[in-house]
Amino acid sequence: MKIAELFTTISVNTSKFDSKIGRVQGSLKRVDATISKIATAGKIAFVGIAAAIGAGVTAFAKFEEQMSTVKALTKGTAEQMAAMTEQARKLGRETAFSATEAAMGMTQLAQAGFKVEEITKAMPGLLSLAAAGSLELAEASEITAATLKGFGLAAEDSGKVADLLAFAANNANTNVSELGQAISFVAPVANAMGVSIEGTVAGIQALSDAGIKATRAGTGMAAILTRFSGASKPANDFLKKFNISLKDTDGKMKNLPKIIEDVNKGLKDLNKAEKTAEIMSAFGLRAGPAMAVLLARGGAALRDMKGNLESSAGTAAEVASVKLDNLMGSFKILQSVVTDAAIELGSKFAPSIQAIVGKIQAAIPAVKKWIESFDAKQIKAALGATKDLVVNTFTAVQIAIEEAMKLDPLQTFLSAWDTTVSNMQAAWEQIDLLGTFNAFLDESPRLLEVLHQISDIMTTIAGINLGNVVQAGASLGVDLTQRLKGASAATSLSTGSFSSDLGSVGSVIDEKTQTDQLSVQKAMGASLEQLVKKANPAIIQ
């Protein structure tokens, strides 16, 4: 009875021990899972960092390339280029356009003949015009350059041009792009005639409202001013006939609103048909319709339009701000800021990458020379020798396996097993089972004492502080897991191809092994059955 209780105690303590060991194993599994997650996160972070660096280097390379074009066009000094680079970066951070796009705008102005100082002064207005007119920087640059050059304005007047065009586009049936097309035709003539940019743009607004827009408005305005230059006899006769003077008391060209007002006064006694006939006769098919529109609009209206344009300062920035005051505008600003950050990141890595690329470029001639030195016959011979080596190696392996399969290891094992069983039977027959059992009963008190000691040991083990064991095991597990993962990766790389090549050989061996195992099990079962039959029947019962 005591023996049964003792075994029960040992079983309970063993269960407690197994339970705590199970918890230790669970903790180690969780540690391994955590390590795997950390490793995965590390890989993702590494890929993200590498992608960011790559994007940064690309952004910087594009920006640097564009600034190199600006330098080639302007012949700017190192100090000037540094200032232009900083301005492009600043505009990229503060506007809806990236630094690279700002550099493209600088390139357009340089191609139009602007010097370094003129470019830096014109850039803010150029970007304001592009934003207000929803233009690409290339088009905005072309309009700005044509307007400034056409009217003989200074580079710092680019802001004024942007404000005029933004206001005119918002207050007439046209847009900045169409206004730019019109100005490109009329600006040189207007400047030569002494007509201001405000008066010219007011006339283009009036024509646009009547449906004469873009290049048609520009050519119409240019044709009217050309007639007023004195080079046209029909126009000169017209002015003389109706007693119209184009110059003021100081001998200067009157402004456009005043000229239109004086022409209307000279024609006030004519009916509509007569007025139209006189206008078309004096100004022709190209300028006649445009002149008719301006006369219909009247000098007073043109004067008001001109005055509004003269007080339009700040319009471009205001329009641009309103257009960007939305989600898409926020995205554009964010994109510019991100691009600038990418350029900054790329600038840090670019020198090292450029040095590496330089070394690769320097090494290419030597590599090319080495490749050119190859002899096709030698390459073919080397490949043939390699093929023969591989074939011979696998042939030798195949022969070795076939020789091993000719042996009969199963029969050898069964013979040894029969001998062992025979020896066990002989020893069994010599054992005095009854005397041995009596001796066991005589030693039972001593056995109980030993079992009690085992019980105490199990109780002690069950009381171990497994928290400390888990903590220590986790620490060791982290290190061991990392080492095993490294070893596993290296091993898989080196053994993958060899395992694949021997796959068919392994299949043959596995099939043979399974057949042999069944034979061994049958033989061992028969031998054990004979051994049991020869045992003492009383003991078996």
Query: Does pLDDT of 21 surpass 80?
Result: no
Question: Which of helix, strand or coil describes residue 353?
Answer: helix
Taking alpha carbons only, the member of 320, 354, 375, 411 closest to residue 133 is: 320
Do 216 and 289 touch, CB atoms closer than 8 A?
no
Return the pLDDT at 319.
92
Return the pLDDT at 20.
56
pLDDT band at residue 351 under the 50/70/90 scheme: confident
Query: Does pLDDT of 92 surpass 80?
Result: yes
Query: Does pLDDT of 151 surpass 80?
Result: yes
Return the pLDDT at 41.
55
Range with top average pLDDT, 76-80, 382-386, 444-448: 76-80
Question: Which of helix, strand or coil describes residue 164?
Answer: helix
Q: How many other CB atoms are there within 10 angstroms of residue 168's CB atom? A: 27
pLDDT band at residue 467 under the 50/70/90 scheme: very low
According to DSSP, residue 247 is labeled B
Query: Does pLDDT of 535 surpass 60?
Result: no
Query: Does pLDDT of 110 surpass 60?
Result: yes
**Higher pLDDT among residues 527 and 97, named by residue:** 97
**Higher pLDDT among residues 102 and 510, named by residue:** 102
CA distance 335 to 67: 20
Q: How many other CB atoms are there within 10 angstroms of residue 71's CB atom? A: 19
Do 177 and 135 touch, CB atoms closer than 8 A?
yes
Range with top average pLDDT, 277-291, 327-341, 402-416, 425-439: 277-291
Q: What is the pLDDT of residues 402-459, one digit of tens each?
A: 665 565 555 555 565 566 656 655 655 555 545 554 554 455 555 555 545 555 544 4
CA distance 22 to 62: 60
Do 110 and 76 touch, CB atoms closer than 8 A?
no
Query: Does pLDDT of 315 surpass 80?
Result: yes
Return the pLDDT at 25.
61
Indicate left, alpha or beta for 152 from its phi (over 0: left) and psi (-120 to 50: alpha): left
Strand partners, 253: 247
Please compute the mean of the pLDDT values over residues 239-263 and round it to a whole number: 91
Share of residues in the chain with pLDDT > 90 (%): 42
Which of 105-129 are b and which e, b meaning 16 or more Cβ less than 10 Å from the residue's Cβ? bbbbbbebebebebbbbbbbbbbbb
Range with lowest mean pLDDT among 3-12, 439-448, 503-512: 503-512
